Chains A and B, each alone.
Chain A
Amino acid sequence: MKLPLESLKHEISSLREEETDSRYGKAPEERSIKERINYGFILLDKPAGIRSKTAAYIAKNIMATLGAKKMGYSGTLEH
């Protein structure tokens, strides 16, 4: 069974051809670890019995040496 947005593929259509300047920005797959932290995303298997908030806080502390300053989480169990 599938949820509505699951495995949804979006067809991309071009309006025109245009180059992008390689001096600025960086494709997601080329980012270094430090750069990836800023746009980072983790799927955490939260241990049972602790709050989501606590788990996110611990995760932030673990990743802090790599430059994580903010750690947001989404979704509580009962929704």
Chain B
Amino acid sequence: MPLAINNATKVLPALLFGGKEYVALMHLHSEVDEQLLRGTFNKFIGKIMQLPPVRSHVKRQYRQREIYYSDILEINGKDVLFKVGVESGTYIRKLIHDMGEDLKTGAHMTELRRTKVSTLSEKDNLATLQDLEDSVYFYEKENDDRLLNKYLGSIESAIDFLPKVFISDTAVDPVCHGSPLAVPGIVKLTGFDKDEMIGIMTLKGELIALGKSVLSADEIKTSNRGVAIKTDSVVMGIGTYPTYKKIN
């Protein structure tokens, strides 16, 4: 489970983008032929329509979600263990239910474990609550920051997967105040399209804010004025960088 501290909490919605990977256990209501089962699994790869469950946080209407991959790991009688990579907002319980309908036997989910969130995976420095206690203890009592360094990551590393722009020192403070970012403020950039979520960074690599691109990276490269990125959620505190006066 990703946790973000203080200022970093503002980027949490961005972490929900990107895919998720789960390992789930499906329980079939009666045994089915393996060939048939594999056929159904393959049918539910790619774009599918899904109706959110009765108890859910979103409006209950059909919506399209993409299943990137779906692999059966083990079949044991009526139990099917499988790994599935899905678009954010896909309900696995529902996916299993729908596959059950397709098989005409019915099925339900008995277990679910998430194994990846976009770029974060369980292999990374996963900390238990006990690990956190230990790392704070060693740091406070014995001045040993090794554990803390291991578990306390930076928000920048968590948004590694976002396209970014790196901006001039003079443009930092206005963005901290929520101003949109204009083309001349940009010094370096990665590739991106219009209407994408962008990380606005300093030249030192600190995250200032998240924004939405108004122009694509290619358009920015060929123009010298106009709004490039609209600022959404600001992470950096006002006053971290000074206000520069206009020189002209």
Cα distance A60–B74 in the bound complex, in angstroms: 39
Contacts of A78 in B (CB 8 A): 91-93, 112
Query: Within 8 Å of chain A (Cβ to Cβ): is B15?
Result: yes
| B230 in contact (CB, < 8 A) | no
How far is it, in angstroms, between the C-alpha of A41 and the C-alpha of B126 when the chains are bound?
11
B83, B92, B172, B187: residue with the most chain A Cβ atoms closer than 10 Å: B187
- Asked whether, in the complex, the Cβ of B189 is within 8 Å of the Cβ of A15, the reply is yes
A26–B152 Cα distance when bound, in Å, is 17
Contact assessment for A56 and B189 in the assembled complex, using a CB-CB cutoff below 8 Å: no
Which interface class (under 10, 10 to 19, 20 to 34, 35 or more) fits B?
Answer: 35 or more
Closest-CB distance, B27 to chain A (whole angstroms): 16
Interface size class of A (residues with CB under 8 A): 35 or more
Q: How far is the CB of A4 from chain B (nearest CB, A)?
A: 6
User: 8 Å CB contacts to B: which residues of A1-57?
Assistant: 1-8, 10-16, 18-21, 24-29, 31, 33, 36-47, 52, 55-56
A27/B205 in contact, CB under 8 A: yes
Report B's interface with A, CB cutoff 8 A. Answer: 1-9, 12-13, 15-21, 68-69, 71, 83, 85, 88-93, 112-114, 116-122, 124-129, 131-133, 136, 139-140, 145, 148, 151-158, 161, 163-164, 166, 168-169, 172, 186-191, 202-207, 220-221, 235, 237, 240-242
